[in-house]
Amino acid sequence: MIWSWNYFFFGVYPFIAGTTFLVGSAIRYEREQYGWSSFSSQILASKRYMMWASNLWHIGILTLFLGHFTGFLTNILEWLGADPVEHQWIAASAGITAGVLAMIGGLMLLLRRLLDPKVRYASRFMDIFILVWLLITLSFGLGTQFISVPDAVSGHVQNMQILIQYVRSIATFQPDPALIRTIPIIYKIHMFCGMTVFLLFPFSRLVHIWTVPLNYAIRPYQLVRAKIRSVI
Ligand code: HEM
């Protein structure tokens, strides 16, 4: 296959991100169990504010994860009798609802990290960066709906069908980036951002996902303390 940007970003990069995600998580799990934390700063904020922010964020993000997984990698909707247009409507309505909830929760979490001096002081660069990156990914994801919803209205859902085929080609290790060469750029930017979340995962507080809820609840205590803290 002839080398191109499309080939690199959608034929090679998914595997760089996926390998980093798996190997990086395994190394962190093996080496740094006691530094493994969501680095929660919940204690530093008003209970009510955090309850709203954290619940909206987690409900939104987890629903999106489930939606992406079932929509792209399974035939559940087809088994339930949905045709491709109905599939697109279900994906759009559930995805937009979850995306908006996550966006509100995420912005609330970001505001607290940036504006509350105590939380800001307790945050590392990556804590803020990963949140901003997730919000950017969310924005482009929601942006795709300016194309997907009109597609569903007109009954022409080829973009979605091609994207499903492409995501499956990656998941089965038979990458076919040529499939999406002509797909509108907003889908590509969103997918690049989404794949980069996997790349950044082992270097961020997102690693706490691996241990929720089982080990997290029953493992021995840990002391979370920065090794070096410069005094301003
Ligand atoms: C490998 C990672 C990812 C891929 C390949 C991917 C792919 C896609 C595609 C193709 C769409 C358009 C679907 C449609 O038209 O109905 C979409 C929508 C969307 N994505 Fe992602 N995505 C990824 C990760 C993420 C992440 C990490 C987030 C959240 C931070 C996210 C949030 C959204 C949202 C809010 C939408 C619009 C609503 C929906 O259709 O679900 N995506 N994604």
Give the dihedral sign, CA 162/99/132/26.
Answer: negative
Q: Name the burial class of residue 176, with classes exposed (0-12), middle (13-18) and buried (19+) by CB atoms within 10 angstroms of its CB.
A: middle
Alpha-carbon distances of 27 from 31, 32, 33, 136, 141, rounded to whole Å: 6, 8, 10, 27, 30
Q: Rounded mean pLDDT of the chain?
A: 89
Count of domains observed in the chain: 1
Considering the domain boundaries, does residue 229 fall inside one? no
pLDDT tens figures, 180-205: 999 999 999 999 999 999 999 999 98
User: What's the rounded Cα separation, in Å, for the pair 146 and 48?
Assistant: 34
Assess if residue 232 is contained within a domain: no
Cα–Cα distance for residue pair 16/7, rounded to 1 Å: 13
The percentage of residues in the chain with a pLDDT greater than 70, rounded to a whole number, is 84
Does 18 fall in a domain?
yes
Ligand 1 in contact with 175 (CB < 6 A)?
no
Q: Residue 96 CA: which ligand 1 atom is closest?
A: 38
- The CATH code of the domain that includes 92 is 1.20.950.20
Max distance between CA atoms of the chain, in angstroms, equals 62
Q: In 3D, which of 217, 108, 199 has the Cα closest to residue 208?
A: 217
Using the atom order of ligand 1, give the atom closest to the CA of residue 98: 35
Domain-located, residue 13:
yes
67 pocket-lining for ligand 1 (C-beta < 6 Å): yes
Does residue 225 lie within any of the structural domains? no
Angle 125-61-95 from CA coordinates, rounded to 5°: 135
**Domain membership of residue 69 as a residue range:** 5-218
Q: Residue 226 falls within a domain, yes or no?
A: no
Q: Is the pLDDT of residue 33 over 70?
A: no
Residue 136 belongs to a domain: yes
**How many whole angstroms from 68 Cα to the centroid of ligand 1?**
6
Higher pLDDT, 24 or 28: 24
Residue 3, CA distances (Å) to 8, 13, 52, 181, 198 in order: 7, 13, 47, 13, 24
* Residue 63: pLDDT over 70: yes
Ligand 1 atom at shortest distance from the alpha carbon of 103 = 35
| 156 known ligand binder | no
When pLDDT is averaged across residues 8-24 and rounded to a whole number, the result is 97
Closest CA to 206 of 119, 139, 124, 108: 124
pTM: 0.88
Is the CB–ligand 1 distance for residue 142 below 6 Å? Answer: yes
Residue nearest to ligand 1 atom 23, measured at CA: 194
Is residue 230 situated within a structural domain?
Answer: no
